[in-house]
Amino acid sequence: MHIMEGFLPWQWCIVWWIAAIPFLVMGTIQLRRIIRKDREYLSLLGVCGAFIFILSALKLPSVTGSSSHPTGTGLSTMCFGVFITSIIGAIVLLFQALLLAHGGLSTMGANMVSMAIGGPLAGYAVYYLLRNTRVNIYITVFIVTTVADLVTYIITSFELAIAYPAQTGGILSSFEAFFIIFAVTQIPLAIIEGCVLTLVFKYIVALKSDILIKLNVFSEDQISRASHNEDQIVHLEIQ
Footprint on this chain of other proteins (rule: CB under 8 A): 4-7, 10, 13, 28, 31-32, 35, 39-40, 42-51, 53-55, 57-61, 63, 70, 75, 87-88, 91-92, 94-95, 97-102, 104-106, 164, 166-168, 174, 177-178, 181, 192, 195-204, 207-208, 211
Least distance between other proteins and beta carbon 92 (Å): 8
Helix axes 82-100, 10-37, angle to 10 degrees: 120
Phi, psi of 68 (to 5 degrees): -145, -175
Q: Say which DSSP state 3 is in.
A: P
How far is residue 67's CA from residue 33's CA, in Å, rounded to a whole number? Answer: 39
How far is residue 18's CA from residue 208's CA, in Å, rounded to a whole number? Answer: 39
Angle at the Cα of 105 (from 103 to 111), degrees rounded to 5?
Answer: 50
Indicate the residue among 125 and 166 with the shorter CB distance to other proteins: 166
Residue 79 CB neighbours (<10 A) = 20
Least distance between other proteins and beta carbon 219 (Å): 20
Least distance between other proteins and beta carbon 148 (Å): 15
Element of type H or E holding 43: helix 40-57
204: helix, strand or coil: helix
Least distance between other proteins and beta carbon 129 (Å): 25
133: helix, strand or coil: coil
Least distance between other proteins and beta carbon 194 (Å): 11
